[in-house]
Amino acid sequence: MAFGGILWMLILYMTIFIHSLLFARGVYYHFTRTHIPPGITHGRKLSFLSFALGYLLELGVFLEKLGICHRYVICRAAYDAMPTKKDLNLIRKDLVFDGVPVRVYWPKTPAAGNRRGIIYLHGGAGLLGSIRACENVCCSIVHESDSVVVNVGWVISCFFFRFRLAPEHPYPVPVLDSLTAAIYFLKNAEEYGVDPNCIAIAGESSGGTFAAAICQELVTREGLPRLRAQVLINPFLQPGDFDLPSYQQNQSVPPLFRKQIIKFGLTYLTGKTMNVDGILKAAHVPPDLREKCRKWISADNIPEEFKARGYVPVEPAPFSKELYEQVKRGTETMFCPLVAEDDIIRQLPETFILTCEYDVLRDDGLLYKKRLEDHGVPVTWYHVQDGFHGIMAMAGWRILEFPSTQKCLQSVIQFLKDL
């Protein structure tokens, strides 16, 4: 056999061997460290999806250790490969808003006047995600609420729209890009057939974080139309206490684990992979800041029914100034919207918050709901009893949908229609 043929055979065998090892590791990790609560409908489907995502992340870690690419490239490629469906009943255009790529959707049917506008921000912890992943959600909103939707992409890379993501572009680049796109749309809404006084901003997961942060920032800006509403779907809103009831109860529930959200958050914040143990034990929070935020970030503010599956108060570890110096920007409200001052909170627009029972981020949404209501902000809350993180993102993917997927989406659409 020629040398070239032998080399290709070796490469093939090595590839099979590596994938076999990663597969075996993935199986072991999945069945020893994940927990599918009986309250989740179609738990086996969630188990399979979690395994697939975990496998891609493990493959990414392996490639990073070889120096080929960083660990999130593989998952990004999977998002980019998601097919998009042509919809003959709407107009779709890829545009650039003040340097930020976006995809805008219009209904083809003529409108009697200007429509409402929706700015939609996808999730992915500032590391992953794609406008392709939430395309079905955006199209459904366009059709069913007769709105113009702006799906914020970010950097055009080869053939795809993509976030300016961490670790290449850590915080605050992604949220500032989102803010730039939102301001441009508010200023130029009528050019897109939108009533500038009827624009809502919506986001899922980290997109919900960005949406909340942008709402807070915009109340301080003069000369712009006010946002009509904010829609926060399973948002991450605080990095100060990872021992709230939902973090304890759902720490091993896929697809988002407690340690994983801290790893993602640290990489987004710093651009580096860090040890999560100190953050998990709240050693990064100065005593004075902890005392100040206790009235906002506390299990005492979580209704008792959400502690029924178990909750044990945990004392934080001793404060580490060194750790705090590494992550102190995480106390800024663009990263941690829950700790905004009262005079900002009371100016926020009507709000929709979606939480899921089996989501580690559930209590972030509950705490923000209380803060808003305490300051007179109208809140519509939709809680998904059998839901988990990312359940709404499955909308339109048929076999990947769960029984509550469409219920989540319809609750969002109904809120938007009523604005």
Helix H or strand E segment including 332: none
Contacts of 145 (CB under 8 A, 6+ apart): 116, 118, 413, 416, 417
In degrees, to the nearest 5, what angle opens at C-alpha 370 toward C-alphas 264 and 413?
75
Q: Taking Cα atoms as reference points, which of 268, 273, 274, 244 lies closest to residue 258?
A: 244
Question: Are 141 and 147 contacting, i.e. CB atoms less than 8 angstroms apart?
Answer: yes
Closest-CA residue to 245 (of 363, 389, 390): 363
Query: Considering only CA atoms, which of 250, 344, 337, 254 is closest in space to residue 296?
Result: 337
DSSP 9-29: HHHHHHHHHHHHHHHHHHHHH
359 is annotated as an active-site residue: yes
Residue among 177, 241, 243, 359 flagged as catalytic: 359
Considering 145, 389, 404, 411, which one is annotated as catalytic?
Answer: 389
Q: Is 8 in a helix, a strand, or coil?
A: helix
Q: How many C-beta atoms lie closer than 10 Å to residue 68's C-beta?
A: 10
Note if 389 is an active site residue.
yes
**Cβ burial, residue 95 (10 Å; 0-12/13-18/19+):** middle
Is it true that the peptide bond before 303 is cis, omega within 30 degrees of 0? no
Spell out a b/e string for 161-194, using b for 16 or more CB atoms within 10 Å of the CB, else e. bbbbbbbebbbbbbbbbbbbbbbbbbeebeebeb
Q: 205, 206, 404, 411: which is the annotated catalytic residue? A: 205
Q: State which amino acid sits at residue 183.
A: I
The yes-or-no answer on residue 30 being catalytic is no
CB atoms within 10 A of CB 326: 17
In whole angstroms, give the CA distance from residue 37 to residue 251: 11
The count of residues in the chain is 419
Amino acid at 371: R
d(CA 411, CA 321): 44
Residue 306: which of 380, 356, 231, 265 has the closest Cα? 356
> What secondary structure does DSSP assign to 216-255, as a single string?
HHHTT-SSSPPPSEEEEES----SS-TTSHHHHHTTT-TT
Active site (catalytic) residues: 205, 359, 389
